[in-house]
Chains A and B, each alone.
Chain A
Amino acid sequence: MPHTLPELGYAYDALEPFIDAKTMEIHHTKHHQAYINNLNAALENHTDLQAKTAEELISNLETIPESIRTVVRNHGGGHANHSFFWSILKKDVKFSGDIADGIASSFGGFEQFKDTFSTTAAKLFGSGWAWLVVDNGKLEVMATPNQDSPVSVGKTPVIGLDVWEHAYYLKYQNRRPEYIEAFFHIINWEKVSELYIAAK
């Protein structure tokens, strides 16, 4: 069965004013949809791969035939990353739970984590993602270029922030640091905590 665009589970304006409705709509219906279309096109003649999820495909890139490996990496990654991103966004969720304890023990506290994550996201040159991942039970911040995923190097994401310009240009233009600051108002810490508990 071909990959299909997942529902957001909330309205396009649900993250206002931090991410505007227009950006959410274009990001979801145009950018995310294009990754899915390109992934499906690449898998058309590879029936053995069609039942796999995008995460499964990018977890084992070395097993993907070379002729479609780059497309699967880019567009399978784009599909997986965006699906993940939508799932961790929600306004007004309190920072608490196991993830708060984990961040305190790995980074010293929330502010130190926020600094490290924000700097990583701001400094990433070009298009890509900033992540909070679990690696062998430990939390760490990392960046990936383009649509590369921590999953491809055996790490489990619990937070991901899209810093492709399409994620913020309509509202923030060149001001990526303002977008990163806004992101901290829309992290669904309940969901992040669940992901952390499952991964650690």
Chain B
Amino acid sequence: MTHELPPLPFAKNALAPHISEETLEYHYGKHHQAYVTNLNKLIVGTEFENASLEDIIKKAEGGIFNNGAQVFNHTFYWNCMSPDGGGKPEGALAEAIDKAFGSFEAFKEKFSQTAVTTFGSGWAWLVKNADGSLEIMSTGNAGNPLREGKTPLLTCDVWEHAYYIDYRNARPKYVENFWNLVNWKFAEKNFAG
């Protein structure tokens, strides 16, 4: 099975000024593409040759895990953003967030703190546990919550390549602006799914 780079769900200039077209040229066109290319090379002749990304995330190690998880993580991240994003979640997800964190503002603050303090390259996640409860977690490098049996609902990429062109060292500013882009419809669908 050959993995392919999925189309971006928006135009490359659609997230500006929060995320620039130049950032997406590299982030999607180079980084995401490289993970796809590397994965396709690495799986040849292995037990993961026909495996789904989810299976690779759950079972693989080393380069196959790193590249496979990064293919998934980036596709998921693009879907977590929209030029029409921002605002707040609605319905069952909104209720679950209030229940887990006290309020949407408290959730937002905790998620931002997790994204800002993830040391090195990695991801901040809102996940649903097996019992339906919500949790915020951080993963290093290619880490993905599916590996621990948790369902990802929302993610923010905090590898420096996600924000260095637009924000340099100012990761907190990037995370603050990320909220203007969050596609809550996608997170609500993941929660319901």
Q: Which residues of chain A are near B31, meaning CB under 8 Å?
A: 174
Query: Are A34's CB and B169's CB within 8 A?
Result: yes
Q: Does B34 contact A (CB under 8 A)?
A: yes
**Inter-subunit contact A166/B169 (CB<8 Å):** yes
Across the interface, name the chain B residue whose C-beta is closest to A71: B119
Taking the closest CB of chain A, its distance from the CB of B38, in whole angstroms, is: 10
Q: A34-B169, A173-B30, A174-B34 are in contact. Are A127 and B121 (CB under 8 A)?
A: yes
Cβ–Cβ contact B168 & A174, under 8 A: no
A96 to B155, CA, bound (A): 50
Task: List the one stretch of B52-60, B77-85, B87-95, B157-165 in contact with chain A.
Answer: B157-165
Q: Are A125 and B161 in contact (CB under 8 A)?
A: no
Q: Which residue of A lies closest to B164 (CB)?
A: A169
Residue-wise interface mask of B (138-169) relative to A, using a CB-CB cutoff of 8 A (1 in contact, 0 not): 00111000000000000000011100110011
Is B193 on the interface with A (CB-CB < 8 A)?
no
Min CB distance, A13 to chain B, in Å? Answer: 18
- Does A145 have its Cβ within 8 Å of any Cβ on chain B? yes
Point out the residues of chain A lying under 8 angstroms from B161, CB to CB.
165, 169, 173-174
User: Which residues of A15-50 have CB atoms within 8 Å of chain B's CB atoms?
Assistant: 26, 30-31, 34
B26 touches A173 (CB 8 A): yes
- A-B interface contact total, Cβ < 8 Å: 54
CB of A31 within 8 A of CB of B169, answer yes
Q: Flag whether A87 is at the interface (Cβ < 8 A).
A: no
Instruction: Kindly provide the distance from the CB of B159 to the nearest chain A CB, expressed in whole angstroms.
Output: 7
A26 partner residues in chain B, CB cutoff 8 A? 168-169
Q: How far is the CB of B115 from chain A (nearest CB, A)?
A: 15
**A127–B142 alpha-carbon span in the complex (Å):** 11
Q: Are B165 and A127 in contact (CB under 8 A)?
A: no
Q: Is the CB of A126 within 8 A of B120?
A: yes
B165-A169 in contact (CB<8A): yes
**Does A125 contact B66, Cβ atoms closer than 8 Å?**
yes
- CA–CA, A162 to B165, complex, Å? 18
Picked from B34, B119, B142, B160, the residue with its CB within 8 Å of the CB of A146 is B119
Q: Establish whether residues A125 and B142, one from each chain, have CB atoms under 8 Å apart when the complex forms.
A: yes
Scoring B63, B66, B159, B160 by chain A CB atoms within 10 A of each residue's CB, the highest score goes to B160
Whether A169 lies near B160 (C-beta < 8 A) is yes
Interchain CB contact (< 8 A) of B121 among A30, A31, A165, A173: A165
Contacts of B168 in A (CB 8 A): 26, 30, 166, 170
B-to-A contact residues, CB < 8 Å? 26, 30-31, 34, 63, 66, 119-122, 140-142, 159-161, 164-165, 168-169
Chain A residues near B (Cβ < 8 Å): 26, 30-31, 34, 74, 125-128, 145-147, 164-166, 169-170, 173-174
